Amino acid sequence: MIAFRMSAFRSFVVKETRHILRDRQTLAVLLLMPVAMVLLFGFAIRTDVEDVRVVIVDPSRDARSTDLTRALASTHALRLIAVYSGLQPVEPTLRTGEANVALLLPTDFARRFERGTAEVLVMSDGANANYAATGEAYVRTVVQQWAAENGGGAPVVRVATRMRFNPTLASQNLFVPGLLAFVLTLVSALMTAISIAKEKDTGTMEVLLVSPLRPIQIVVGKVAPYLVLAFVNALTALGLAFVVFGVPVRGSLALLLAAALVYVLVSLALGVLISSRAPNQRTAMMGALLGLMLPTLALSGFIFPIASMPGWLQPVTNIVPATWFILIARGVMLKGVGLAVLWKQCLVLCAMAAILLAAGARSFNDRIE
Amino acid sequence: MADRTPSIPQDRAAVWAQDLTRTFGEFTAVDHITFSVARGEVFGFLGANGAGKTTAIKMLTGLLVPTSGEARTAGHDVATEPEEVKRRIGYMSQRFALYDDLTVKENIRFYGGVYGLSDRQIADRMAAMLQRLGFERMAGERVGRLPLGWKQKLAFSVALLHEPEVVFLDEPTGGVDPVTRRQFWEMIYAAAHGGTTVFVTTHYMDEAEYCDRVSIMVAGKIAALGTPSELKAQFGADSMDGVFVQLARPAEEAKVQKAAEENKRPEPS
């Protein structure tokens, strides 16, 4: 009996794999998409970093301030646009996007600097998050380095940063963790939902249900090939990000892949849930796109930093599974931390997986009734 | 009701139901139906849309648990042994159930595997089937490229691949041309001749004449049961169409009247 079940299940997985391999166009899109996205996001971010436009307000124009201006101008990633003596032009240049960052020096800069009471202000255009975050960090670094070289190492310059237009901006907006979440969601949730809905559309689901295959075998058989595909995609994205852009995995790769596995299970369960509610393929696809892909893109911190969302929206991000996976992936990849720090996020993700898998299995069984 | 028993004893019937009932909340979809089907019989299961046919078939194939009553298909209780039932039956619906993107061979292999046939058995039966259908040259072709009539014939043969004791055909000839329908019925007879019980629903009353026996469901109950000639005599009709109209019309009229009354009620007159 067990042997019989296994052979029936094997036939089912073979059939599912054939469906996937036969639909060449979809398969090509699924395999090439992570490649295209890594390259797209990667190069977009690189341009940001290499071309930050800076203006300086320097009312005193003394030896020290001129020296600092020269240091900024010779920094590779910064482009000095203008030096003003007054404040008035700063706001318009930031507003029009002519400059991304402004460095404001006080009057009497040289004297204050030598006394150790100099205070400079960095302003940036928060509406353009990537430019602002990178630019602010660059200017800050240049100023501190210059101060250390010219003032004997003591922190004589305080950098006060003020974000204009978008005051609470998170700076760590690296894209690979979010991209992983996006690709895994797409392949597991969207494709599973479509594939199950398709069987309902064509009438083959009836025949499967009347066959000796158990509902759980149908679900697992549907899901298994996409699990493999999702992992191929995840490894492609990670590998490409590392080779082309040097994005590291500082922490444990095993932990990252384990988290990815749990996240894929969450997505697959959501895919099953959506398809069991949807009467046909089109509804399943719209449901998966609006209900899963959109939150994964917009509410997970992938594209828009959660810290800069309105207060009422921030709690909502907690129910988006991608939020938790991205936290884990960022922690492991960029900060190199492990379970000791990330246990809470991992626990939340595991709990989501358990609840959704149970709900998914139940909804699939209910539908048969 | 309970004193009625199916005409064929439990141990000799391919399908056997006594007071089989299914309710959904307040609604009784199938209301104490009692009947039996002999082995090798071609049994026509007729009824208007919404009469409860689909619900009854779902119970008989082990998909849906009865609310009350008892049913056995291929010798096993549908409520307690659905897995045993599922292994011993075949099923084909109006929307033929093959995969368009798989080839003829791959479809056959898949269903053979699902029903636990060995690779050897699948290869042997596939060769015999393709020869019988004259499909040898189409074996590597994707099913999506075949004409509808061919697909129906192939789907029926695939439903018989694991040599089921009972095959359920849910409006198998919907949308098929008359010539193919005829050929299809020849295949049904051949299967029945080989000992397979055929349980078939249809909308075509001329097809009802081809069945050994026919039951007609009206509003969840079996309103008539017998051979086509018995039923025609009983209702004084010269065709099965006449029988069906006589039985179905009162139910339809009742429905229309009820709907009319319900529509009247909210009006303030």
- Rounded to whole angstroms, the Cα distance separating A26 from A29 reads 5
A153 pLDDT more than 60: no
Q: What is the dihedral of CA A307, A310, A311, A312, to 10 degrees?
A: -130
pLDDT of residue A157: 57
Query: If you average pLDDT over residues A78-93, what whole number do you get?
Result: 86
- pLDDT band at A162, cuts 50/70/90? low
Question: Are A203 and B98 a contacting pair at CB < 8 A?
Answer: no
- Rounded to whole angstroms, the Cα distance separating B164 from A51 reads 73
Query: If you average pLDDT over residues A149-159, what whole number do you get?
Result: 58
A42 pLDDT more than 70: no
Question: Are B91 and A207 a contacting pair at CB < 8 A?
Answer: yes
Collect all residues of chain A within an 8 Å Cβ-Cβ radius of residue B168: 210
Collect all residues of chain B within an 8 Å Cβ-Cβ radius of residue A24: none
- Rounded to whole angstroms, the Cα distance separating A229 from A217 reads 19
B184 pLDDT more than 80: yes
Which of A14, A211, A368 is opposite residue B115, by nearest beta carbon? A211
A94 pLDDT more than 90: no
Both tokens of residue B170? 């849910």
Could you give the percent of chain B with pLDDT greater than 70?
Answer: 93
pLDDT of residue A293: 85
Q: Is A170 on the interface with B (CB under 8 A)?
A: no
DSSP state of A107: T
Higher pLDDT, A175 or A185: A185
Collect all residues of chain B within an 8 Å Cβ-Cβ radius of residue A23: 101
Pairing type for strands A101-104 and A119-125 reads: antiparallel
| Closest CA relative to residue A188, chosen from A279, A292, A332 | A292
Collect all residues of chain A within an 8 Å Cβ-Cβ radius of residue B115: 8, 211-212
Q: What is the mean pLDDT of chain B?
A: 88
Query: If you average pLDDT over residues B251-258, what whole number do you get?
Result: 69
Query: If you average pLDDT over residues A274-283, what whole number do you get?
Result: 84
Kindly report whether the global pTM for this prediction surpasses the value 0.90.
Answer: no
Other CB atoms within a 10 A radius of the CB of residue A140 amount to 17
Question: Are A15 and B102 a contacting pair at CB < 8 A?
Answer: yes
- Rounded to whole angstroms, the Cα distance separating A103 from A83 reads 9
Collect all residues of chain A within an 8 Å Cβ-Cβ radius of residue B61: 210
pLDDT of residue A168: 36
Other CB atoms within a 10 A radius of the CB of residue A143 amount to 21
Taking any CB pair shorter than 8 Å as contact, residues of chain B touching chain A are 61-64, 83, 86-87, 89, 91-102, 106, 109-116, 168
Q: Is A21 on the interface with B (CB under 8 A)?
A: no
CA distance B200 to chain A (A): 15
Which of A8, A22, A202 is opposite residue B113, by nearest beta carbon? A8
- pLDDT band at B45, cuts 50/70/90? very high
- pLDDT band at A155, cuts 50/70/90? very low
Collect all residues of chain A within an 8 Å Cβ-Cβ radius of residue B122: none
How do residues A297-331 score in pLDDT, each as one tens digit?
888 887 777 776 788 888 888 999 999 999 899 88
Residue of chain A whose alpha carbon sits nearest to that of B97: A204
- pLDDT band at B266, cuts 50/70/90? low
- Rounded to whole angstroms, the Cα distance separating A286 from A21 reads 24
Query: If you average pLDDT over residues A222-227, what whole number do you get?
Result: 88
Q: Is A254 on the interface with B (CB under 8 A)?
A: no
- CB proximity under 8 Å: A 179-238 to B: 202-204, 206-214
- pLDDT band at A130, cuts 50/70/90? low
pLDDT of residue A31: 85
- Rounded to whole angstroms, the Cα distance separating B158 from A199 reads 17
Query: If you average pLDDT over residues A333-355, what whole number do you get?
Result: 89
B6 pLDDT more than 70: yes
Q: Is A23 on the interface with B (CB under 8 A)?
A: yes
| Closest CA relative to residue A180, chosen from A240, A135, A221 | A240
Higher pLDDT, B3 or B220: B220
Which of B91, B114, B168 is opposite residue A8, by nearest beta carbon? B114
Question: Are B61 and A210 a contacting pair at CB < 8 A?
Answer: yes
pLDDT of residue B87: 92
- Rounded to whole angstroms, the Cα distance separating A356 from A320 reads 12
pLDDT of residue B217: 92
The H or E element containing residue B91 is: strand B89-93
Higher pLDDT, B256 or B110: B110
Higher pLDDT, A336 or B252: A336
pLDDT of residue A143: 85
Please give the interface size between A and B, counted as residue pairs whose CB atoms are below 8 Å apart: 76
Question: Are A211 and B61 a contacting pair at CB < 8 A?
Answer: no
What is the sign, positive or negative, of the torsion defined by CA atoms of B101, B106, B111, B115?
Answer: negative
- Rounded to whole angstroms, the Cα distance separating A299 from A323 reads 7
Question: Are A18 and B102 a contacting pair at CB < 8 A?
Answer: yes
SS3 B15: strand
pLDDT of residue B267: 47
CA distance B30 to chain A (A): 15
- pLDDT band at A214, cuts 50/70/90? confident
Query: If you average pLDDT over residues A214-222, what whole number do you get?
Result: 85
Q: Is A115 on the interface with B (CB under 8 A)?
A: no
A171 pLDDT more than 60: no
Alpha helices for B44-198 (secondary structure H): 53-60, 82-88, 104-114, 119-133, 148-159, 178-193
- Rounded to whole angstroms, the Cα distance separating B116 from B268 reads 64
Amino acid type, A46 = R
A148 pLDDT more than 50: yes
- pLDDT band at B39, cuts 50/70/90? very high
